[in-house]
Structure 1
Amino acid sequence: MIVIGLTGWRDHDSLYAPGTAAKDKLKVYARHFAIVEMDSAFYAVQPPDRMARYAEETPEGFGFVVKAYQGMTGHLRGKPYYDNDNDMYGAFRDSLTPLREAGKLTAALFQYPPWFDCNKENVRLLRETKKRMEGFPCALEFRHQSWFAPEMKEKTIAFMRDEGWIHSVCDEPQAGSGSIPTVPEATCPDLTLVRMHGRNVGGWNQSGNANWREVRYLYDYNESELNEWGATLARLAEGSRCVGVIFNNNSGGHAAGNAKQMMRLLGQAVYELPVVREPEQLDLFNF
């Protein structure tokens, strides 16, 4: 099974009729797609009651990929919110529990930063993290090329299989050590995650600029690129019962359109907003 979705549900204007309230967008989003990535959890661990409400607002079979809190992946700058790691991981686990109990937790996504390279200390940290998250499905995404260097690629994949990590396969620009190649390998029989970041080489390494969010994921996949990925997704589906595909290329608003294009290429049904016709003006002399 291959399911397609997007990062977040609030910022994809083409999915919603004008005037759709923010509180209603998740319900409408779930008519279009069966999976979503919740990136708000990266900035703050979400309260369990909010997660329970999200579960209630979505239909049976809907799934959430919840991005791990930044303090757990080495991204945090400034004063920590939690006093210690036990409290931090405990809060995150509590946050995920309503989704897991509702059968709607696809995975917790641990995306590590470009400076998280392949060394013994970081391997130890990954083992410790996986133990702390026991009982929760966890996906792993790297941003440093060293994990997939020729001499390390097979070892990294074997490590992920041994530790029970779900592989987050990436399509992203090849722009130096802070980006990784596409490695289409399934490491978990239940799930493989695929994240489509676009291929904007020039904008990828500009995180220090004020408008980096506006350019980093600025990319519109063409039909040939999506067709190539369609074949890759079919191969990944041979190694995992489910392949979840998240389009993250929304700096220019292309993610929703590309996701639906991919669904059509895969022969999946695509929901479109009903066409609202303007009322015809009454002709006073022809009635």
Structure 2
Amino acid sequence: MGVAVLIGTSGWQYRDWKDRLYHGVPQKRWLEHYARCFATVEINAAFYRLPAYETFASWRERTPADFLMAVKASRYLTHVRRLRDPSDPVRRLLSVAEGLGDRLGPVLLQLPPTLRADPALLADCLDAFPSSVRVVVEPRHESWFTPQVRELLTAHDAALCWADRLGRPLTPLWRTTTWGYLRLHEGAAEPWPGYDDRTLDAWLDRIADAPPDSDFFVYFNNDPGGAAVRDAIRLAELAEARGLPTTRTPVLVP
């Protein structure tokens, strides 16, 4: 079997999705509906305010057994501490995310665009995570893209986050783990901020080269106007045409 593509969006609570994805569904049931439509989501809101253990536990209870939630680490760790003294913020993050139990997917460390490469800081931060937690790092300063950092990520079995804006990769296309992670921030197609087939196919070319029987998480972060949902559905269609197994995607209301 080839690589499995796990497709979702960055967040699920967007009011302008109401008449497309959530037509007729009360807002308090949006998570349950989303989880019937998709098998994974990226919790971007955790970056701004870390949810309580009880909130994570509630999300676990409200979603099916095959559902996975990737968690974006708190900005306190990445943007306030800037990776310094990571033990306490990592411990706090994991102590509340434990509420997800087996629903916990990768933990995303999105670094500030002003944070220049400091391999020692990153190594200390990655060391604070147990080996059972999959960690993905999204650097946003070009100084991180060196052989030393690539070796560091590989040694810690941490993934480099692939990222796209306007159809262009924002990072090197390194493979530092047996699994992968892609964030699609903004497409260049009409209507904005959607993605066209050519760009999605190019990303599938890269994903298809991943090791057999591996997971590749893909999250659309271009939420305005429901673009993320539409593009997730289209990516699944294009992947399935290639014979790549994908997780479920919804049927939108016309």
Q: TM-score range by the shorter chain?
A: 0.7 to 0.9
Higher RCO by CA contacts (8 Å cutoff, separation 6 or greater): 2
Look up the match of 2:250.
Answer: 271
Shift of residue 16, structure 1, vs aligned partner = 0.7
Contact 2:232 2:249 (8 Å CA) reproduced? no
Unaligned runs of 5+ in 1: 78-83, 201-217, 276-287
Contact 1:170 1:183 (8 Å CA) reproduced? no
Counterparts of 1:114-263 in structure 2 under 5 Å? 114-118=113-117, 122-135=118-131, 136-148=133-145, 152=146, 154-173=147-166, 181-189=170-178, 191-199=179-187, 219-236=193-210, 238=211, 241-263=214-236
CA gap 1:144/1:40 in 2 versus in 1, 3 angstroms: same
**Secondary structure, counterpart of 1:186 in structure 2:** coil
TM-score (norm 1): 0.75
Shift of residue 271, structure 1, vs aligned partner = 2.7
Counterparts of 1:5-84 in structure 2 under 5 Å? 5-11=8-14, 12-13=17-18, 14-18=20-24, 20-75=25-80
Q: Could you tell me how far apart the structure 2 residues matched to 1:92 and 1:270 are?
A: 29
**Secondary structure, counterpart of 1:73 in structure 2:** helix
Q: Could you tell me how far apart the structure 1 residues matched to 2:249 and 2:87 are?
A: 43
List structure 1 runs of 4+ shifted beyond 4 angstroms.
84-87
Contact 2:10 2:41 (8 Å CA) reproduced? yes
Q: Residues 214-267 of structure 1, C-alpha deviation per residue, up to 9 Å, x if partnerless? A: xxxx5211111111112111113x277100000011234311101110011111
**Secondary structure, counterpart of 2:114 in structure 1:** coil
> How much identity, in percent, do the aligned residues show?
26
Q: Could you tell me how far apart the structure 2 residues matched to 1:90 and 1:241 are?
A: 28
Q: Could you tell me how far apart the structure 1 residues matched to 2:180 and 2:106 are?
A: 10
Q: Could you tell me how far apart the structure 2 residues matched to 1:274 and 1:143 are?
A: 36
Unaligned runs of 5+ in 2: 241-245
Q: Could you tell me how far apart the structure 1 residues matched to 2:197 and 2:51 are?
A: 37
Q: Could you tell me how far apart the structure 2 residues matched to 1:75 and 1:166 are?
A: 23
Contact 1:192 1:240 (8 Å CA) reproduced? no
Shift of residue 57, structure 1, vs aligned partner = 1.1
Shift of residue 139, structure 1, vs aligned partner = 0.9
TM-score (norm 2): 0.84
Superposition CA RMSD, Å: 2.5
CA gap 1:192/1:168 in 2 versus in 1, 3 angstroms: same
How many residue pairs get matched? 236
Tell me which amino acid in the other structure corresponds to 1:185.
W
Q: Could you tell me how far apart the structure 1 residues matched to 2:129 and 2:27 are?
A: 31
CA gap 1:270/1:111 in 2 versus in 1, 3 angstroms: closer
